[in-house]
């Protein structure tokens, strides 16, 4: 007969043996990757402690103070933060094929493209989302033509309910919501009706609506009344008119009511009109903190106050937000906004092994709002490493992804190829100068390229100026990006040296005085050692770093010599004063704006442009 005492003793012995067996197996287990010694912050588990993280078969296998099993690869994270892969719920990553890989190196393992395209061109963003290395999904712009410089829905007919519904029905696996941009320069007096139509579309599929708030014509409470549980308000720090606070710094009752019924409030840092420090201060003092951080990312973000998602997370640390709270805004909280991310934003055992390793540096860091205002913070997050589906993403892997992305979009996959020497020139900086930004429009600029190319003996090719415009007569007055005008590459300079093998490589490289030369093989005067004066390295482009249009910086589509118009320029030599290459100074196509279009010389220019052969 087994007594209670003997039964309990036997059970205890069995338990001890079982634990010992488990311990032995743990000691001998081989993992794919162990991230060792980092400060692990997982808001979903309320974990904030120094731990090891073990990964097997693309999943989180274990988190412990000391994991002694073997691993195929080890990542030393001592002195760094180890957090779930970052989720950015408001980006324009799918505006370019390079976007997904570029944010992946920032630790972003899931993203939402928030309304880059509407029904007319939604296939463009869908293709990029489907081919992205990480999870990418799309919000369809209720404006069927997508983002437009003149305003997505200034013409109310563009808010086409039927077209949006049809597009969602065809792409239900990728389209996860509807975007309605409502600012006065986007929707004008149509804002309320645009939002009503967006809700009509979204409700048909049980999807959320994300509204771009700030500087609307309709009062914000009127617009918020249309929002349902699960909808998102982005650009929550936008200043008046129609901010989320009144002129005494109190949160509007309609805003409080919206949050109470389940509406999310998101940062949406962006570049123009979306965040101003005095408004941030009032909102944070009222203790109305954001649910999520997002960037409103574009490929030129590194040259702006956005920089990357870790930088945007850093901006509220000086307002009382803790490090774990900031991490929650891009992990646990963000995972609740869109169902596609429900199993992400966590490091719980068994979850997909998407991990971001960040540095939290101490010092004096300057943070920029959208109005050239600055604040100084004592801490800033920097991306250090990314793990996607259990595999560490190296710089070589990023280069491979970039090349594959361009190849998938019809380009030449030579992004990581070594420098080549060609025999025929297919790129140059114009030797001819212009004292103003009036080039005679795109046609005049193209003619300049063709004439100089002919004089150099390569007039048999078709030459195009690398210039963006807001209204291209040849395309029904639609915007045109410089990158779309120049072919697919490769391109060689007058000395036969390869400038770039394809569009991805071209827009990933820096300026170089030995490469960005004129059609005669001469260097452009600049900041390089031994350069003769005057400095003329400012080359007009009107473009962001990714080659897309930068509205308002095209000298009125290259027809203006006014003091009230401006041009974006790049540095042919990739250098700033004293050889500085920080920030945007190394950018060959988007370093800064010129003084104005009446005189190209004062800030280091001579009215030069880039010319590319398209064939």
> pTM for the whole thing?
0.68
Task: Please write the tens of the pLDDT for every residue from 583-609.
Answer: 788 899 999 998 899 998 877 899 999
488 close to 533: Cβ distance less than 8 angstroms: no
Q: Taking the C-alpha atoms of 61, 63, 66 and 71 in order, what is their torsion angle to the nearest 10 degrees? A: 30
Residues of the chain below pLDDT 50 = 1-27, 410-423
pLDDT of 16: 39
pLDDT of 54: 98
Reduced to 3 states (helix: H, G, I; strand: E, B; else coil), residue 119 is: helix
Reduced to 3 states (helix: H, G, I; strand: E, B; else coil), residue 72 is: strand
pLDDT of 12: 43
337 close to 232: Cβ distance less than 8 angstroms: yes
Q: How far out from the chain centre does Cα 429 lie?
A: 29
In three-state form (DSSP H/G/I as H, E/B as E, the rest C), the secondary structure along 374-402 is: EEEEEEEEEEEEEEECCEECCHHHHHHHH
**Number of other residues whose CB lies within 10 A of the CB of residue 171:** 18
CATH number assigned to the domain with residue range 427-613, chosen from the 4 options 3.10.100.10, 3.60.40.10, 3.40.190.10, 3.40.50.800: 3.10.100.10
* Domain 84-408 top-level CATH class: alpha beta
Domain ranges within the chain, ordered by starting residue: 84-408, 427-613
pLDDT of 15: 43
pLDDT of 409: 52
pLDDT of 14: 41
437 close to 607: Cβ distance less than 8 angstroms: yes
pLDDT of 312: 97
pLDDT of 602: 78
Burial zone of 7 (CB within 10 Å; 0-12 exposed, 13-18 middle, 19+ buried) = exposed
pLDDT of 615: 83
The β-bridge relationship of strands 30-42 and 47-56 is antiparallel
SS3 content of the chain, % helix, strand, coil (to 5): 30, 25, 45
**Number of other residues whose CB lies within 10 A of the CB of residue 614:** 14
Task: Please write the tens of the pLDDT for every residue from 349-387.
Answer: 999 999 999 999 998 899 999 998 999 999 999 999 999
């Amino acid at each position: 007969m087994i007594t209670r005492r003997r039964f309990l003793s036997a059970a205890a012995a069995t338990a001890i043996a079982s634990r010992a067996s488990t311990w032995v197996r743990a000691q001998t287990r081989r993992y794919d990757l162990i991230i060792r010694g980092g400060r692990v912050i997982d808001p979903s588990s309320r974990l904030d402690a120094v731990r090891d993280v073990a990964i097997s078969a693309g999943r989180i296998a274990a988190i412990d103070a000391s994991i002694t099993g073997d691993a195929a690869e080890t990542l030393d994270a001592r002195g760094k933060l180890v957090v779930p892969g970052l989720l950015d719920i408001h980006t324009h990553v799918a505006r370019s094929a390079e976007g997904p890989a570029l944010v992946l190196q920032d630790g972003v393992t899931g993203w939402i493209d928030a309304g880059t395209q509407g029904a007319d061109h939604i296939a463009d963003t869908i293709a990029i989302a489907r081919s992205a290395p990480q999870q990418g999904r799309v919000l369809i712009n209720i404006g069927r033509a997508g983002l437009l410089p003149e305003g997505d829905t200034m013409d109310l007919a563009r808010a086409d309910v039927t077209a949006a519904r049809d597009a969602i029905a065809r792409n239900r696996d990728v389209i996860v919501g509807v975007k309605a941009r409502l600012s006065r320069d986007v929707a004008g007096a149509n804002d309320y009706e645009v939002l009503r139509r967006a809700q009509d579309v979204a409700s048909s599929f049980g999807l959320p609506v994300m509204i771009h708030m700030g500087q609307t014509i309709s009062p914000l409470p009127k617009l918020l009344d249309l929002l349902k549980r699960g909808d998102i308000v982005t650009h929550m720090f936008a200043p008046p008119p129609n901010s989320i606070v009144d002129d005494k710094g109190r949160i509007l009752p309609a805003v409080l009511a919206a949050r109470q019924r389940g509406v999310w409030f998101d940062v949406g840092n962006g570049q123009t009109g979306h965040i101003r420090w005095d408004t941030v201060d009032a909102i944070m003092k009222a203790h109305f903190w954001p649910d999520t951080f997002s960037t409103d990312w574009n490929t030129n973000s590194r040259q702006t106050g956005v920089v990357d998602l870790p930088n945007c997370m850093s901006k509220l640390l000086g307002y009382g937000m803790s490090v774990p709270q900031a991490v929650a805004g891009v992990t646990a909280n963000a995972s609740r906004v869109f169902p596609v991310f429900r199993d992400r934003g966590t490091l719980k055992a068994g979850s997909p092994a998407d991990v971001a390793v960040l540095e939290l540096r101490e010092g004096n860091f300057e943070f920029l709002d959208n109005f050239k205002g600055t604040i100084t913070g004592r801490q800033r997050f920097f991306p250090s490493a990314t793990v996607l589906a259990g595999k560490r993403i190296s710089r070589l892997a990023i280069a491979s992804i970039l090349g594959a992305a361009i190849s998938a979009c019809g380009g030449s996959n030579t992004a990581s190829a070594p420098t080549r020497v060609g025999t025929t020139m297919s790129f140059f900086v114009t030797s001819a100068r212009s004292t103003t930004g009036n080039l005679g429009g795109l046609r005049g600029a193209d003619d300049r390229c063709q004439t100089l190319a002919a004089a150099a003996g390569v007039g048999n090719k078709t030459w195009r100026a690398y210039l963006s415009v807001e209204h291209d007569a040849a395309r029904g007055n639609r915007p045109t990006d410089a990158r779309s005008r120049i072919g697919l590459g490769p391109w060689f300079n007058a000395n036969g040296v390869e400038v770039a093998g394809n569009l991805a490589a071209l827009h990933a490289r820096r300026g170089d005085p030995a490469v960005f030369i004129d059609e005669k093989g001469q260097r452009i005067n600049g900041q390089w050692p031994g350069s003769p004066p005057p400095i003329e390295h400012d080359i007009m482009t009107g473009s962001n770093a990714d080659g897309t249009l930068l509205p308002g910086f095209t000298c009125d589509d290259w027809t203006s010599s006014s003091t009230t118009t401006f041009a974006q320029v790049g540095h042919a030599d990739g250098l700033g004063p004293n050889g500085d290459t920080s920030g945007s100074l190394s950018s060959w196509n988007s370093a800064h704006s010129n003084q104005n279009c009446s005189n190209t010389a004062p800030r280091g220019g001579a009215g030069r442009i880039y010319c590319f052969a398209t064939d």
